[in-house]
Amino acid sequence: MTTQSNTPAGWYPDPQGTPRTLRWWDGSQWTDHTHADPSQAPAAGQVPGQAQQPQQSQQPQEADPAKVRHQVQRQAGVAPTAQGGGSLFTEPVLVVNQKAKLIELTNEYSVMDQNGRQLGSVTEIGQSGLKKALRFVSSVDQFMTHKLEIRDAYGRPQLVLTRPAKLIKSRVVVERPDGSPVGEIVQQNAIGKINFAMNADGRQIGAIKAENWRAWNFAIVDHADQEVARITKTWEGLAKTMFTTADNYVLQIHFQLPEPLLSLVVATALTVDTALKQDSRGLG
């Protein structure tokens, strides 16, 4: 949907008419990236040439710091560490909590630092009504294509992950919002402890190794098989685990990683349940 305009890139009211929704204009065309308008949006259908300024982005939020610290330190066993740079790619600890739902039709996660400050979010995009209906009545959607968008605390897209339709093994394509490639996460086996290769520029630069057959915890290693990060699933209590679909994780990055390994590690941790663990064995 290309429109000739001198309007700069930014968030504008969705021209497709979705109420209270902003869509990203990249300077030459509308993209698939959207988020809720934190204020009352102007009339839907407004085109870039009519918009005076991009809307103000959402402000970061904070969860209950005590609960998050308990999750990190007690449940995941991660000792307090020095504060990082305050972003998805500069914090040594990321807390990934899925929004609890009795019936999961859209995957949504919040991402916080070790003290509960919101760093970003993950949401599934591009779902059709048919796909949501299938999720409601069956688990067949695990064999369909999934597309996830990783956004920063202000709702701005940082990474886009696409898991093409699969039968047994998963493959996840990681890209920047402009479509430039970052790499791929490729499932290596279908029996036993699940392992994934992280590939970039035609070579393997790391791996994700499940530490048990239930694939609750993962060690992340570099090309030399040195552990660089760890994903630990945290227990949220029997009632929540039995009656909702929520999954909560803590990612601990042991030291500053180079690109594209850093982006692939963050992408893996933030989407491990939807992109990697949904398979025919029901590991979730």
Q: Are residues 39 and 86 in the same domain?
A: no
What pLDDT, on a 0 to 100 scale, did the predictor assign at position 268? 87
Phi, psi dihedral angles at 64 (to 5 degrees): -70, 110
CA distance 207 to 196: 6
Please indicate, yes or no, if residue 210 is contained in any of the structural domains. yes
Contact at 8 Å (CB) between 283 and 194? yes
Q: Choose the weakest-confidence range: 126-130, 150-154, 251-255.
A: 126-130
CA dihedral 57, 175, 187, 249 (to 10 degrees): -20
Q: Are residues 46 and 97 in the same domain?
A: no
Mean pLDDT, range 253-281, rounded to an integer: 79
CA distance 202 to 92: 28
Please indicate, yes or no, if residue 1 is contained in any of the structural domains. no
Please indicate, yes or no, if residue 81 is contained in any of the structural domains. yes
Please indicate, yes or no, if residue 109 is contained in any of the structural domains. yes
Q: Choose the weakest-confidence range: 79-83, 230-234, 280-284.
A: 280-284
Contact at 8 Å (CB) between 207 and 196? yes
Mean pLDDT, range 226-246, rounded to an integer: 65
Q: Are residues 38 and 71 in the same domain?
A: no
CA distance 125 to 89: 22
Please indicate, yes or no, if residue 5 is contained in any of the structural domains. no
Strand-pair partners of 29:
2
CA distance 209 to 217: 8
| Position 204 confidence tier, pLDDT thresholds 50, 70, 90 | very high
Mean pLDDT, range 37-58, rounded to an integer: 47
| Position 283 confidence tier, pLDDT thresholds 50, 70, 90 | very low
Contact at 8 Å (CB) between 92 and 72? no
Contact at 8 Å (CB) between 231 and 272? yes
Q: Are residues 30 and 164 in the same domain?
A: no
**DSSP at 117:** B
What pLDDT, on a 0 to 100 scale, did the predictor assign at position 250? 93
Q: How many domains does the chain have?
A: 2
Q: The tokens of 180 are what?
A: 């430039």
Mean pLDDT, range 148-175, rounded to an integer: 86
- Strands (E) located in the chain: 10-13, 21-25, 30-36, 93-98, 108-112, 118-124, 146-152, 157-163, 171-175, 181-187, 195-200, 203-210, 217-222, 227-233, 248-253
Q: Tell me, rounded to whole angstroms, the distance of Cα 12 from its chain centroid.
A: 23
Q: The tokens of 69 are what?
A: 């610290």
Q: Are residues 35 and 94 in the same domain?
A: no
Q: Are residues 82 and 154 in the same domain?
A: yes
Mean pLDDT, range 186-202, rounded to an integer: 88
Residue 96 lies in domain: 65-277
Q: Are residues 169 and 206 in the same domain?
A: yes
Q: Are residues 36 and 109 in the same domain?
A: no
Query: Could you tell me the CATH number of the domain that includes residue 237?
Result: 2.40.160.200
Q: Are residues 39 and 148 in the same domain?
A: no
Q: Which of 36, 31, 34, 30 is nearest to 48 (CA)?
A: 30
Q: Choose the weakest-confidence range: 20-34, 110-124, 126-140.
A: 126-140
Please indicate, yes or no, if residue 218 is contained in any of the structural domains. yes
Please indicate, yes or no, if residue 255 is contained in any of the structural domains. yes
Q: Are residues 41 and 79 in the same domain?
A: no
Put residue 265 in one of left, alpha, beta given phi > 0 → left and psi -120 to 50 → alpha: alpha
